Amino acid sequence: MNALLIAQNTFREAVRDRVLAGILIGGLVLMALTRVGSVLAMGEDLRLTVDLGLSSISLLGLLVILLVGTSLVAKEIERKTIFNLLSRPLPRPVYLIGKWAGLTGALALVALVLGTALALLVTALGSPQHIPAIAQATYLAVLELSLLTSLAVLFSALSTPVLSALYTLGMFLAGQWCDDLRRLAVKLPAGAREVLATIADVLPNLPLFNMRSLAAAGDVTGLAHLGLATGYAVLYCACALALASAAFESRDFK
C-alpha cells in the first residue's frame, strides 16, 4: 500500500516535471520528422518510420531515466525530502520499490503516447497491419525501460546523480553488446572465458527487448518471446531492487 503511495507521488513528480513534457513533445516532433527522412528511404519509408519511431521510444525513455531516474533517490537525500518519508512507518525497501514503480509508470505513459502516435501515423500511411507489431515492440520497450529504471534506482541509492547517470548509461551500452560478449567469451582461454561469460550474464540482456527490425517489417513475435522477456525483466528488476534495498537499509541520512 505504501509502495503505491510512493509510486503515485513519484509518478506525479515525473508528470509535473517539465523534462517529461519536453521529451514527449520532442518525441512527437521526431516522429513527424521521420516523414521528411523517408523521402530518402527509396521505398522503405514505412520501415524507416516504424524503426525510427520505436527507437525514439527507447532512446527518449532512456533520456528520461538519465535526467529524472538517476537522481530519483539521490535528489531526495540531497534535498532532505526523504526525512519526512523515512521517519514514518515506511520500510526502506518499500520506498525504493515505490520510486521504481512510479517512474516506470511515467515511462509507460510516455511509451503509450508515442506508440499510439506511431500507430496513428502508420494507419494514416495506409498500413494498419503494422499496429500489432508496434504494440508488441512498445510493450518490450517498456520492459527494457523498467529494467534500466531499476538499475538507475540502484545507482541513485548508492551514489550521486552524475555518477549514477554515468553508471546507468554504461549499463545500457554494455547491455546492448552482451550477446557479442558471450560470443567473444567462447573464443577466449579458460578462466578469462568464465569471467567474460559471467560479466555478460550479469549485464542486462537488452537485445531480448529489441524487436524493432521485426516490427518495421510488420512481423509480430511469438508469445514465448514476450513471456521470456517479461520473466527476465521481472527477475532482473527484483535482483537490482533487492541489491539496492540491502545497500540502502544501512545508509545514514545526515
Using an 8 Å Cβ cutoff, are 118 and 174 in contact?
Answer: no
DSSP secondary structure letter of residue 42: T
Residues lying near other proteins in the complex (CB under 8 A)? 2, 5, 9, 12-13, 16-17, 79-81, 83-91, 250, 252-254
Q: Supply the minimum distance, in Å, between the C-beta of residue 109 and other proteins.
A: 16
Helices 45-67, 18-37: inter-axial angle, 10-degree rounding = 160
Q: Supply the minimum distance, in Å, between the C-beta of residue 224 and other proteins.
A: 41
Cell 549485464 found at: 203
Q: What's the CA dihedral at 92, 81, 165, 176 to 10 degrees? A: 40
Count of beta carbons in the 10 Å neighbourhood of residue 88? 8
Cell 545508509 found at: 251
Helices 131-158, 161-176: inter-axial angle, 10-degree rounding = 140
How far, in Å, CA of 159 to CA of 59, rounded? 23
Q: Supply the minimum distance, in Å, between the C-beta of residue 59 and other proteins.
A: 25
Q: Supply the minimum distance, in Å, between the C-beta of residue 88 and other proteins.
A: 5
The helix (H) or strand (E) run that includes residue 126 is none
Closest to other proteins by CB, 9 or 176: 9
CA 111 to chain CA centroid, Å, is 10
Closest to other proteins by CB, 88 or 187: 88
Closest to other proteins by CB, 5 or 163: 5
Q: Supply the minimum distance, in Å, between the C-beta of residue 83 and other proteins.
A: 4
Closest to other proteins by CB, 187 or 254: 254
Q: Supply the minimum distance, in Å, between the C-beta of residue 240 and other proteins.
A: 22
CA dihedral sign of residues 146, 150, 155, 161: positive
Helices 131-158, 45-67: inter-axial angle, 10-degree rounding = 20
